[in-house]
A and B are shown apart, each in its own frame.
Chain A
Amino acid sequence: MLGRTANSIFWMFRYLERAENTARLLEAGFRMALTRGVEAANEEWRSVIVTLGLQAAYEAMHDQYTGAQVCNFVLRDRENPENVLRMVERARSNARASRTSITAEVWESVNEAWMLLSDLLVRPVREAGLGVVLAIIRRESTLVRGATYGTMLRNEIYHFARTGTFLERADNTARILDVKYYLLLPSLAYVGSSLDTGQWDNVLRSLSAERAYRWLNAGRMDPRGIAEFLILDRRFPRSLSFCYDALAGNLANLAELHGHEGACNSMMRDAEIRLRRATIDTIFDAGLHEFLVGFIAGNQAIANAISDEYRFIA
């Protein structure tokens, strides 16, 4: 397959994953706003903007953090070049550029997602309609994933698609955990103490992890346990370990199909070993923030190595 097409497939799935995770983050914020006072809610909306790296752009436009403003800024505001509608547009335009490499089902699902969201996001979203819009974004992304899983040949195209998905997901989980943890913990001394469980519940919700975590921990909330779950639990499909297990598998498959390994494979192996050896204690001893920042940089380096190895760009 063409290097350019591999690049399009990779980014198509990265943008879809990013749109889905952004919707999740907003859903968690929305729920927080419904269950807390105005102060806490606004603080929550600020954390959403910080997590998405949009603080400067947002504050250039608005002096307050309110639900409607934040949601519209994140979902559809033209002043925000990274809005969700734009992500879906980019996913769709990458799909269009690689139409010969995806099945009709995958193309139609991403095209329909784009048509639907373009219609829904023509006008500002009102609070009453927000829940519906966010659920649709998640559902549409799920449909594309399902079509991909159910109809695509397991060849290199599929592995590039999954590579994009897991790289993006790992990045998003790390970012969400990093920001939320920082905001919620006034100092590291609090780690292990019982804080406001509602807010911790919200970290889990941002990653669709609340049900899984409760089920595994009989409802006990502790920040350290939550970090451990989101970083190291191989069973949870949005944890860093799960993403890297999957990513390592896809990259190994690519190396096998191509008959040789590249720098991305050795970098992947190193990263995976680091993650396997890590315990929540070693991570906290060295500093969670430092760990996550290092992880995000390493993730980016692997993405660059994949792009070089498979000639994504001329």
Chain B
Amino acid sequence: MNITEPCFDEMYQPDGTIRPAYRNYCEWLSEQDATFLRRKDREAEGFFRRTGITFNVYGGEDAEERLIPFDMVPRIITGNEWRRLSRGIEQRVRALNAFMHDLYHRQEIIRSGRLPERLFANNEAWLPQMVGFTPPGGVYTHIVGIDLVRTGPDEFMVLEDNARTPSGVSYMLENRETMMAMFPELFARIHVRPVSDYPRRLAKSLAACAPDNASDKPVVAVLTPGIYNSAYFEHAFLADQMGAELVEGSDLRVVDGRVQMRTTAGFQPIDVLYRRVDDDFLDPLTFNPDSMLGVPGLMDVYRSGGITIANAPGTGVADDKAIYSFMPEIVEFYTGEKPLLPNVPTWRCAEADSLAYVLDNLADLVVKEVHGSGGYGMLIGPTSSQREIARFKEKLRANPKNYIAQPTLALSTVPIFTKAGLAPRHVDLRPFVLVSPNGIDITPGGLTRVALKKGSLVVNSSQGGGTKDSWVLDD
């Protein structure tokens, strides 16, 4: 989609001068010759292929492994900008966690009238099995990804909360490794805050969430659906970096009231299960009875305090886009503070006034399904044909509560490297946040996703998006 109004470019000011964050980088860049950069660009792809950093694409005969395109121009955030952002992220994550606890206990926020009950009463992600139960350490959202977009020098907004199972952190780590391998001199010149200790911090944070009766050195395992899952590389990568076992459902069994893994020396209990399997597949006795990916009896062990599941089952409620639209109220309710990071303005189609407005202005809006993700099932008004809009209108009228709408945002741009030189492309940012009883820990930076097509606003890797290394300057 083409935005007619000018967008905020993070590297260049409107007069063509370079913004402070990129000054040192651009100085270095101007000293490099074009053939050197082109060669490096080719090198990067070979590097990713060899190390097997791929994601699988579903559909088609063979589950194909693809690379997520990597762009070698970094996305740079100043230390000051980051300090402001991280305060806002911390506030939001604290509120999310308190909200989860409340939803599964006294539901004060509903009693107070701030949140309509219907929102989660028919929300599939809400799990009655979690009612009245508090996970070990009181932590629901052990790992959170907050998707941020930028529209101006000081305008950062939250586009989406990923409280279920945020992915992409392996790209954050490998993008940095790739950049350091390709341009070591750059890192000697510019001080960038490191991200490489994320796996160690993740292991520590997960261990701190172990059940009370776990030993001093809790056993952590990563649960993956297996090698055909689209994020398998990341599951293996994180397990490897943490020194944890990478387990599949078929490796696990409930023995003597504990969840145990089948090792070459017999069954061994697990204290913390970092699961990358959806709620519905976790336990065939409790949820989907056809699931081959989970562990029969896991939820019983969980509810009796024998294991920590990260993230807690039922946290997907917070990923719902209708709930998202209430986040400003939610933040205020649980923290007593005004939200530091605003939401993108959102119309809830469940409300008659909003629906009327959305129907009248479809051509200018982005409409999303409340449970949707990955950029699927949405309408982008400005790039859609009359017919597409008409068809979407019918869907919207038939089931309005399934949708929310947002204005088409002028997302900020950062240049990417193309054959013809640098060219601006739209970006977002997903910082990764760890929560444990010891506190909230945010890795400086995160994953920058970039729409590689000129003018496009869709950054999802499943829809032709790429990634960039994201720098937070140590200034």
Contacts and interface: CB of A to CB of B under 8 A. Distances in A.
Contacts of A104: 51
Interface stretch (B138-146, B184-192, B262-270, B345-353): B262-270
Contact of B264 (A111, A112, A258, A314): A258
Interface stretch (B117-125, B238-246, B401-409): B238-246
A179 B409 CA distance: 72
A314 B50 contact: no
Contacts of A97: 226-227
Given A100-B236, A108-B51, A311-B263, A4 B227 contact: no
B261 interface: yes
B372 interface: no
Contacts of B251: 2-4, 314
Say which size band chain B's interface belongs to: 20 to 34
Contacts of B262: 2-4, 311, 314
Interface in B201-235: 226-227, 232
Contacts of A93: 227
B1 to A, nearest CB: 36
Contacts of A258: 264-265
B463 interface: no
B52 interface: yes
Majority SS at the chain B contact face: mixed
A169 to B, nearest CB: 22
A6 interface: yes
B295 to A, nearest CB: 12
Contacts of B52: 96, 99, 107-108, 111
Contacts of A112: 50
A111 B250 contact: no
Interface in B232-291: 232, 236-237, 239-240, 244-248, 250-251, 253, 261-266
B220 to A, nearest CB: 12
Say which size band chain A's interface belongs to: 20 to 34
B49 interface: yes
A156 interface: yes
Contacts of A107: 51-52
A107 B227 CA distance: 14
Interface in B35-83: 49-52
A1 interface: yes
Contact of A4 (B51, B239, B248): B248
A310 interface: yes
B48 to A, nearest CB: 11
B44 to A, nearest CB: 16
A135 interface: no
Interface string A112-145: 1001000000000000000000000000000000
A174 to B, nearest CB: 27
A115 to B, nearest CB: 7
A108 B52 CA distance: 8
Interface in A78-121: 93, 96-97, 99-100, 104, 107-108, 111-112, 115
Contacts of A115: 49-50
Interface of B: 49-52, 226-227, 232, 236-237, 239-240, 244-248, 250-251, 253, 261-266
Interface of A: 1-6, 93, 96-97, 99-100, 104, 107-108, 111-112, 115, 156, 258, 310-311, 314
6 contacts: A2-B247, A2-B264, A3-B251, A97-B226, A104-B51, A311-B262
6 nearest CB pairs, A to B = A310-B264, A99-B236, A100-B240, A3-B262, A100-B246, A100-B239
